[in-house]
Amino acid sequence: MIRIAVELPGHAAYPVVVGAGALGETAQHTGERPFGIVDLPVYEAHGALTAPLCSLVVAPSGEEAKDWETLELILSCMAHEKLDRASVALAFGGGSTLDVAGLAASLYMRGIRVVYCPTTLLAMVDASVGGKTAINLAEGKNLVGTFHQPSAVLADTRTLATLPDAEWRSGLGEVVKAALVEGEELLALVERSASALAARDLAAVEPVIAACVRSKARIVASDERESGPRKALNLGHTFAHALEKVAGFGAIPHGVAVACGLALALEASERAGLLEDASLRARVDSTLRTLQLPRSLGELRRTHGALPARELLAAMRHDKKARSGVPGFVLPRRAGALELSVALDERAVLELLA
Amino acid sequence: MIRIAVELPGHAAYPVVVGAGALGETAQHTGERPFGIVDLPVYEAHGALTAPLCSLVVAPSGEEAKDWETLELILSCMAHEKLDRASVALAFGGGSTLDVAGLAASLYMRGIRVVYCPTTLLAMVDASVGGKTAINLAEGKNLVGTFHQPSAVLADTRTLATLPDAEWRSGLGEVVKAALVEGEELLALVERSASALAARDLAAVEPVIAACVRSKARIVASDERESGPRKALNLGHTFAHALEKVAGFGAIPHGVAVACGLALALEASERAGLLEDASLRARVDSTLRTLQLPRSLGELRRTHGALPARELLAAMRHDKKARSGVPGFVLPRRAGALELSVALDERAVLELLA
């Protein structure tokens, strides 16, 4: 079991516990009878893992959960169970479930504690750390949300055994992003572990999850509200959010879109003359191939339809990072060194997406 | 024009401007073409006061506005107008309108700026300062919300000219609460001004509004998230929220319920042997009478029906300040000196409400 303390200025430090059996610590972090929120696949696969609860809301899984209906359902159940400001919510599931459960916890009585039990690789390496919560609007992903830090994260790698292959690969997309953001050491670990990660070796994935969490915790601690350094975590995401929106939310798994977004960001960086490490594109390309992730927009179009360049551009203009309709791109110079807000002109973006 | 700077740790200071013509400063606080939210009576009475807007959402007024439907409507319109993180929302209206507009602003892209233009006395003295936002659930008032400070508050006393008498009296209820919380100096000012306030003298109300805002700003600055001293602002509110819930949200104007709550809190304090200033009950009783506010539960029952004691108690058990079903009461020792969390036993509460 690996323990990481996340320390954010102005918040109590909270632990992230990574390893087989982490869920055994649930009661010590929630106290008696927390209010449970779980997504359907997790409920079906791991119902018995859950601690005694005061109530359990079963939510849809994936992007479907991130809507007004699920948010209202959770909040109405919280009120019906007469939770008070000392109550604790316990969320089991993938990133979408944690996002909507965390939003509900942040809103109920203006904020109660929430413990996250991520059950997907993507949620373990990314969604469960950092305190962003959200639901989607028809106009775009994550347009409604809050910053609300969990009081503990229990990443039990045993829950990954039942994860569908597509979800596993999606998590690996965020792993590669974390490596590019963090730098050479994590990138080398991911390259060395790539075959084992592709083969779903749980012993190999544990230190990788822990390294991703440490990296993200460090970045978030320096900039909780994303006014500066935290923007680095959006590497590949301006592209990814546009791909997900144009394909229809849920059609492309988030981390798969991120993988493609990383390839596009590297290409954009090279075209813009920003890329300093000439070998980086080839290394990431090779790693994405080993991990069975898309390495180009062309590859994604073969599996997910046309994804027209103009529609992608229009989606980017309304990205949360855009200002007055001009998207800001995070582009890598080398692993661990990123430009945080590059305004590419429209023609350059369209050529890249052609 | 009176200017007050609200300085909260960790936030940029923001101005509260009180006086006839304060709305003339709108553009300097919002920049060009803010996103407007206005309630219907204000829209009808003051449409021409508003600055050029990128869009205007007209919301229901009063507690009706504080629901999921209005919140979703505002957020969908924000997304439809493609607001970005640099956009500014401008909310005109009573406390309910500011509450739901502030909640929407705090959630859109995890928080954009909002400028409040309170148009009721209650919103000027209370709702527009402090950064609490909320909507109601069927189970209770303000159960869903956030803390989100406005970037400016423009309290234009000219907008009070069209306020219905019942709304004016409601605001005076919160004025008396503010005086009891703040201490002798403000209480004496309110006593001296009571006849002029009852007669809706706008010159007399301006310094009273400013004093209430200064008092609240000082308290909120010491405890934004209500872990301690800010609880004082809930004086009378455990009773008031229960009265409003049992009567049906909207039936009793909030400040009218607070006035009755103040009388009940003073009586409870005396019965519990906590009241040190023997003259305080009579002084507050006399002030409430001058202001045409209810001075007892009996008086409120004559105008608003049975309000059964057991139903009121049940509502208090689920108050946001309750812990494990035990309500915590704020009780005055004297003006400016309050007990912040008194657990009264059930029988004592029922006797008080009999």
Choosing from A29, A177, A231, A237, the catalytic residue is A237
A143 close to B (CB below 8 A): yes
Structure tokens at B158: 């000219």
A42 close to B (CB below 8 A): no
Q: What is the pLDDT of residue B61?
A: 82
Mean pLDDT calculated for residue range A31-53: 78
Lowest mean pLDDT among A55-64, A70-79, A117-126, B336-345: A55-64
Distance CA B130, CA A293 (A): 49
Q: Which tops the pLDDT comparison, B63 or A28?
A: A28
Choosing from B141, B148, B216, B321, the catalytic residue is B216
pLDDT at A205 over 90: yes
Q: Which of residues 153-182 of A touch B (CB under 8 A)?
A: none
Which CATH architecture group holds B2-162? 3-Layer(aba) Sandwich (3.40)
Mean pLDDT by 10 residues, chain B (354 residues): 92 94 91 88 71 76 89 95 93 94 98 96 93 92 94 95 94 98 98 98 96 96 90 95 90 95 98 96 98 96 94 88 81 96 92 94
Q: What does the DSSP assignment read for B88-137?
A: EEEEEESHHHHHHHHHHHHHBTT--EEEEEE-SHHIIIIITSS-EEEEEE
Q: Tell me whether residue B90 is exposed, middle or buried, using C-beta atoms within 10 angstroms of its C-beta: 0 to 12, 13 to 18, 19 or more.
A: buried
Q: What is the pLDDT of residue A141?
A: 83
B19 phi-psi bin (left φ>0, alpha ψ -120 to 50, beta other) = left
Which residue of A lies nearest to B103 if distances are taken between CA atoms? A107
pLDDT at A309 over 80: yes
B79 close to A (CB below 8 A): yes
Taking CB atoms and an 8 Å limit, are A107 and B145 in contact across chains? yes
Lowest mean pLDDT among A64-68, A118-122, A169-173, A317-321: A317-321
pLDDT digits (tens, 9 = 90+) for A86-135: 999 999 999 999 999 999 999 999 999 999 999 999 999 998 999 999 99
CA angle B29, B32, B33 (to 5 degrees): 110
Q: What is the pLDDT of residue B324?
A: 76
Which residue of A lies nearest to B141 if distances are taken between CA atoms? A109
B81 close to A (CB below 8 A): no
Q: What does the DSSP assignment read for A200-255?
A: T-HHHHHHHHHHHHHHHHHHHHH-TT-SSGGGGGGTTHHHHHHHHHHH-TTSS-HH
| Domain limits, chain A | 2-162, 165-353
Taking CB atoms and an 8 Å limit, are B323 and A140 in contact across chains? no
pLDDT at A48 over 60: no
**Residue B175's CB: how many other CB atoms inside 10 A?**
30
pLDDT at A143 over 60: yes
A273 close to B (CB below 8 A): no
Taking CB atoms and an 8 Å limit, are A143 and B79 in contact across chains? yes
Give the C-alpha distances (Å, rounded to integers) separating B259 from B3, B124, B204, B213, B291. 28, 17, 20, 18, 10
Residue A132 falls in the annotated catalytic set: yes
pLDDT at A50 over 70: no
Taking CB atoms and an 8 Å limit, are A320 and B85 in contact across chains? yes
Single pTM value for the model: 0.91
pLDDT digits (tens, 9 = 90+) for A252-263: 999 999 999 999
Q: What is the pLDDT of residue A41?
A: 83
Chosen CATH of A165-353 out of 3.30.70.580, 1.20.1090.10, 3.20.20.70, 3.40.50.300: 1.20.1090.10
Tell me the three state secondary structure of residue A29. helix
Mean pLDDT of chain A: 93
B86 close to A (CB below 8 A): yes
Residue A237 falls in the annotated catalytic set: yes
Taking CB atoms and an 8 Å limit, are A138 and B75 in contact across chains? no
Residue A241 falls in the annotated catalytic set: yes
Q: What is the pLDDT of residue B12?
A: 86
Give the C-alpha distances (Å, rounded to integers) separating B122 from A88, A268, B125, B160. 34, 54, 5, 10
Q: Which of residues 309-328 of B touch A (CB under 8 A)?
A: 317-318, 320-325
Q: What is the pLDDT of residue B250?
A: 81
Distance CA A132, CA A252 (A): 21
The CATH number given to B170-353 is: 1.20.1090.10
